[in-house]
């Protein structure tokens, strides 16, 4: 689970990928995802919703302490580093 969650978070913040809900997908779209990935997708959706609503503490609880976030050619190598550098800016961007 950690690897899947990490990979999905890296895709969202390291590239141009956006969660399906941000792209206007219909509710229940998770059923179209491979069963092995569904739990990770739900976590990423919850994280994205928390960041978008500027609920940083809630988003923080969904991140592994050792998460690697790749963003804009750089990286944050832990939850604390991400929260102290880009979480608030990401929240503003996703509003």
Instruction: Return the pLDDT at 21.
Output: 45
Distances (CA, A) of 41 to 58, 72, 78, 85, 86: 16, 22, 20, 24, 21
Q: Which of 82, 47, 55 has its CA nearest to residue 68?
A: 82
Q: Which of 27, 25, 12, 22 has its CA nearest to residue 63?
A: 12
Instruction: Return the pLDDT at 72.
Output: 82
pLDDT exceeds cutoff 90 at 10: no
Give pLDDT tens digits for 19-36: 444 444 444 555 678 888
Look up the pTM and report it: 0.66
Give pLDDT tens digits for 40-91: 888 999 999 999 999 999 999 999 999 999 988 899 999 999 999 889 999 9
Q: Which residues of 17-32 are buried (b: 16+ CB within 10 A; e: fewer)?
A: eebbbeeeeeeeeeee
């Amino acid at each position: 689970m950690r690897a899947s969650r990490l990979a999905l978070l890296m895709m969202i913040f390291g590239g141009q990928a956006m969660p399906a809900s941000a792209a206007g997908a219909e509710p229940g779209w998770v059923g179209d995802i491979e069963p092995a990935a569904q739990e990770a997708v739900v976590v990423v959706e919850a994280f994205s919703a928390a960041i978008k609503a500027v609920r940083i503490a809630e988003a923080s609880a969904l991140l592994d302490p050792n998460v690697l976030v790749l963003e804009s050619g750089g990286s944050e190598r832990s939850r604390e580093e991400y929260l102290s550098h880009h979480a608030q800016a990401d929240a503003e961007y996703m509003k």
